[in-house]
Structure 1
Amino acid sequence: MAEPGDTSVLATAKAKSQKSHELASCVIKEPLFSYAHLQVLNGNPLQEPIELDALQVRSYCTAALQQFLGIAGTAISIDILKVDGSDCWLRVPRDSLGAFSAAITAWRGTNENGVHTTFRVKGCSDWLGSLVGQVGQDTLWSK
């Protein structure tokens, strides 16, 4: 028979009443990669938006990194996740995000057939989910 102060009986009763169990837990303090959302802009707002492809994105980013950081800038790894019309989403090493976004912001762009083309940084984040969730926020209050 259990004594009134017996803790083993209380522990057993508590264990039986608990329906869920934690199998594993993980805390990610510093992810390896960061993400950037870029939009290509042309100098003439009356023209149709430019449709990007992965090769153009790679070329423009390489030009921006080389202009800003020289040969060391071209060593920054860039993964093109998605290209959709004039927008693109990229993955870069977390430690290089500051240099990458500074290079894209400072890039003077290209001039082809009298049309000036450059990038706009729409967002940067360590978490892709929070970056993708920002799509369309700029039109929320303007309509």
Structure 2
Amino acid sequence: MTDPIATIARAAVNRLTAPHSAAVAAEVEAALHTRATTSRPVQYIDPVSLGTLIVSIAGLAWTVYRDLRKTTPAPSPEMVARHVRVRLGRDSRPPGPELDAADRDQVIEIVIEETVRAAEDGGNAPDGN
């Protein structure tokens, strides 16, 4: 089974339009590699780039989606986004680079859409990794 967080992060970075999209894609791959080599999962990798922000939000969104599946058979993207934003708002310093609110919202929305899409794919069961 593929790693749903990696699938979500890669799909999100492919949808984001940035002047340095190749660099951001490389940052996502580096963040995924770092995430895979840690012995204990952490909620947020020490974020220093847009790539790590995407991977961090993908991990959080997948966790939120799986948690919501316990009480709601098919959580809507809006419901997942609301819970992700609440969880991100609990941190005194949100993960990722300094982004304006519109750019951060765009990243969150795209990651949420990709999370729901990955969950709906037959190969990535919501109760999986």
TM-score, reference length from structure 2: 0.31
More helix by share: 2
Higher relative contact order, structure no. (Cα contacts within 8 Å, ≥ 6 residues apart): 2
* Greater Cα radius of gyration, structure 1 or 2: 1
Higher strand share: 1
TM value normalised by structure 1:
0.28
